[in-house]
């Protein structure tokens, strides 16, 4: 066992997780950029872009995944921080 004191962390003003949820990337974004690049190179009514346009239509018509429920970690941290701060201030 070491005789050193444990490292003390500075007090926090509030408990909070920065980004509890991240936005899901759009799966059709790459196909849409391909369509726009094809239109830019071949013109809007270009015949060579029909396959890419069909792929974009298929991607947009595909059923979307159900939306995930919001993460409630910050709500619970805010609730528990009152208890933690109250316990820490009693010892001073």
Secondary structure (3-state) at 18: coil
Task: Tell me whether residue 74 is exposed, middle or buried, using C-beta atoms within 10 angstroms of its C-beta: 0 to 12, 13 to 18, 19 or more.
Answer: middle
pLDDT at 20: 64
Supply the DSSP string of the chain, one letter for each residue: ---SPPPPPPPPS----S-SS-PPPPTTHHHHHHHHHHHHHH-TT-GGGHHHHHHHHHHHHSPPPPPPPPP-HHHHHHHHHHHHHHHHHHT-
Query: pLDDT per position in the chain (92 positions), as tens?
Result: 567 887 776 776 767 777 666 767 788 999 999 999 998 888 877 678 889 999 999 999 998 878 777 777 778 787 877 776 655 555 44
pTM here is: 0.49
Q: Where in the chain are the domains?
A: 25-63
pLDDT at 4: 80
Q: CA quadruple 31, 34, 36, 38: dihedral positive or negative?
A: negative
pLDDT at 1: 56
């Amino acid at each position: 066992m070491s005789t050193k004191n444990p490292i003390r962390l500075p007090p926090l003003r509030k408990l909070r997780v920065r980004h509890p949820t991240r936005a899901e990337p759009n799966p059709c974004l790459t196909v849409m950029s391909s369509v726009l690049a094809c239109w830019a190179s071949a013109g809007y009514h270009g015949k060579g872009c029909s396959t890419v346009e069909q792929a974009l239509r298929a991607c947009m018509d595909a059923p979307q995944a159900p939306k995930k429920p919001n993460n409630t970690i910050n709500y619970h941290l805010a609730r528990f921080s009152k208890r933690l701060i109250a316990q820490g201030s009693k010892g001073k």
